[in-house]
Structure 1
């Protein structure tokens, strides 16, 4: 029997999850102790991996360890980070290490531990289409089972009452550099692939890092630390006008709370778009400790006289780019405030240009006739993270980490994932599978503070919930 199929192939699932990143993994972990829920999660990758190309030694999460998959909703869950440490007999070493922010590699290992022990997760399964079957009042989810080489091995179909999308983000490459990234043999790569090419980059005579956010800073620092003093030959540039620290004040961080999410969702669409554009420093700045580490390393290299051969230039955009001969890359740069232009010749380019939400249209093409869209033709998503569909569709499609336009910059935040998962589970079960706080911030966003009241929902066809944690 295909392990991704129910024992009865005609029996509908309660929920099919598409994608197994931190968002859907959080949902799967919080759904695990709830009896009566038949769930399955698919991911086309062979195994779990959380930004593997950026697991640079020493790089840390930008959120505390409590922002694991479950703790901020259910700290008693068996899937907490602390329980992971306990299972590895590492709880005392962690206690004495006094680390509030853990390394990225440790967070990745924790998520892998959850994947290894949590049932209902199926890697190597690529979801090809989602359709609504009005005759059965169910969604049809078509998938391809892949072999270890990523080749199609078998086709399958699952019927489900509900779907949750957690397909995450994809690397963003600016248009001027797309031809270089796509050309074979040209040493231009996205930061997502950094570790795979680190040895070649360290061997290159001159390396340029484009993008002055957190990943750009970590990559520049890693290259700097491993280049000989006086022969660094590094250039770090980006469009932002300064090497700006990330907003990390206590009240500033309250914009990553459910209270702010509710406030944001209730605003008019044009207002929401303006707010998102102005909140870049909440997630695109550089951690203050990383900025300090870069400066410390540059300063250390001046102790015996001279300056490191490293250029740091903010406020610069790449207009065009091309190859010089066969091994060099030429970047045509423009400085906005100076209104000046120049050319930079380099041997390799790392694009620390961030990520963008994966568009939902491809995987939801079969639901297009039922979808409601906003003025920018983006899917409308309600407060409970549900796609707004035609009323004839009695099932629900939930959305995770693809709703920045409706829920704000907190959509991809790891700390909000457990709260969003609990919202989805409460909506799915028609009850209060998880009790959620009425208030989460000292700040009152707006003249009145909205409290979340779940909409009335007809009791779903589920087995009564059994909470065996108590």
Structure 2
């Protein structure tokens, strides 16, 4: 195994290549003199491959690509992708505002195949601050085609962008079931890989009322024989509720709301995130309509489909019954009653959790300032709040919901966040950002825009990578 070390320090090193860091890479490409590289342990880009169900679309318009909302002229836009695929006119005549998920995945993979500086099959193992050289040292392992270690190396960077994404979440009570091999129990993230095995089960239960749970339930319903559907759909939420998709409601996904949210007390922010579940955890109207249409169609000739949809239910405990069945112990919140459900397969559409930063940044633990709940404090410009002895910046992408609000993981804010990061990093106005993006004034006191907030460029000036 050989050891390699990069040459001069990078201005920016990105950890993880998902949509967030891919956007940052695409928008950094036109900046003269900026030296950047991006590291990803996976061998290639894939965006939620287990959920690319036929016909499913993004919940955001196609303009929410990697670059357009910050720079419509950037060569890595979705429209430019369509032009290169000779599909611009078909897309134009299709009159689609929301592109297919599989199309978005293909678009991102197209970007990764052409954008320089992306290093797949590179696993970053450790990050340390080198005070003598004022750089971060990154130790990485280059992986082979089967995930084996082929070589180790080290890179140096003045600034970092951490975009390691989220991981599927399985509730504690159900984790033992997920380890079984004889009964299909899986997270929704792995749905397509196991769909045939699920359909072979006599009875299937889907737990979770968000968009993924709804799409999986609909897909299973369409593939089960009429009158013998044998499906249950359970949810903790009090209703299978529609996503808040009014135009003014969508203004919660603007830079204006992110700035307003950041300025609120920590306890208020936490309470808001819990109460705003219909902004990001509910189901779009079209999917709910499609489910009802399919159920209604199956009732045209008398009788009801063998499908049970029950909201307001939580799974208290669960266990195996022999080798082919599972017993779920259920609590109904409003009735205050308990029941049991026997099923032959289980899909857990139970969401995702942020991957913790601590395992990646243990050497920075003493320098990282935290809030009352132990979470990293994050500046408005997405920098971790670090001790002043560390002059380099660590930007976090899609790990800031507790500080920036429900829009943190939303694709519609990806390009704006990247532009803020690059403006801060360089100390220059590389991208002109809107002073105002919403008609709603969220507070009595206007939140400062990016060009009026000295803090946004404070760490960039004096440490600009553009020499």
Alignment counterpart, residue 256 of structure 2, candidates 233, 255, 259: 259
Distance 1:165 1:373 in 2: 17
**Gaps (5+ residues) in structure 1?**
465-470
1:460 aligns to 2:463 (yes or no): yes
Show the counterpart of 1:468: none
Show the counterpart of 2:207: 210
Show the counterpart of 1:451: 448
Deviations 1:178-230 (A, max 9, x none): 00112333310000000000111111111000001110000000000011100
Instruction: State whether residues 369 and 385 of structure 2, in contact with CA within 8 Å, keep that contact through their aligned partners in structure 1.
Output: yes
Show the counterpart of 2:434: 437
SS at match of 1:418: helix
How far off is 1:5 after superposition?
7.2
Instruction: State whether residues 334 and 340 of structure 1, in contact with CA within 8 Å, keep that contact through their aligned partners in structure 2.
Output: yes
How far off is 1:292 after superposition?
0.1
Show the counterpart of 1:183: 180
Instruction: State whether residues 427 and 454 of structure 1, in contact with CA within 8 Å, keep that contact through their aligned partners in structure 2.
Output: no
Distance 1:430 1:329 in 2: 57
1:304 aligns to 2:301 (yes or no): yes
Show the counterpart of 1:364: 361
Show the counterpart of 1:405: 402
How far off is 1:130 after superposition?
1.1
Distance 1:462 1:22 in 2: 24
Show the counterpart of 1:96: 93
How far off is 1:460 after superposition?
3.1
Alignment counterpart, residue 11 of structure 1, candidates 8, 23, 38: 8
Distance 1:434 1:459 in 2: 19
Show the counterpart of 1:421: 418
1:21 aligns to 2:40 (yes or no): no
Distance 1:44 1:62 in 2: 28
Alignment counterpart, residue 345 of structure 1, candidates 342, 345, 354: 342
SS at match of 2:137: strand
SS at match of 1:194: helix
Work out the number of aligned pairs and report it.
Answer: 460
Show the counterpart of 1:223: 220
Distance 1:419 1:458 in 2: 20
Instruction: State whether residues 22 and 69 of structure 1, in contact with CA within 8 Å, keep that contact through their aligned partners in structure 2.
Output: yes
Superposition pairs for residues 328-339 of structure 1, below 5 Å?
328-339=325-336
1:85 aligns to 2:85 (yes or no): no
How far off is 1:35 after superposition?
1.3
Superposition pairs for residues 287-302 of structure 1, below 5 Å?
287-302=284-299
How far off is 1:277 after superposition?
0.8
Instruction: State whether residues 425 and 464 of structure 2, in contact with CA within 8 Å, keep that contact through their aligned partners in structure 1.
Output: no
How far off is 1:451 after superposition?
2.1
SS at match of 2:164: coil
How far off is 1:449 after superposition?
1.2
**Gaps (5+ residues) in structure 2?**
none
Deviations 1:294-344 (A, max 9, x none): 000000001111110100000000010110011111111110111111111
TM-score w.r.t. structure 1 length? 0.96
Instruction: State whether residues 144 and 154 of structure 1, in contact with CA within 8 Å, keep that contact through their aligned partners in structure 2.
Output: yes
SS at match of 2:338: strand
Instruction: State whether residues 15 and 40 of structure 2, in contact with CA within 8 Å, keep that contact through their aligned partners in structure 1.
Output: yes
Deviations 1:48-98 (A, max 9, x none): 010000000011100000000000010111111000000000000000000
Alignment counterpart, residue 146 of structure 1, candidates 143, 146, 150: 143
Deviations 1:13-52 (A, max 9, x none): 1000000000000000000111101100011111101000
Alignment counterpart, residue 282 of structure 2, candidates 265, 281, 285: 285
Instruction: State whether residues 165 and 397 of structure 1, in contact with CA within 8 Å, keep that contact through their aligned partners in structure 2.
Output: yes
TM-score w.r.t. structure 2 length? 0.97
Superposition pairs for residues 16-55 of structure 1, below 5 Å?
16-55=13-52
How far off is 1:136 after superposition?
1.5
Show the counterpart of 1:234: 231
Distance 1:442 1:463 in 2: 36
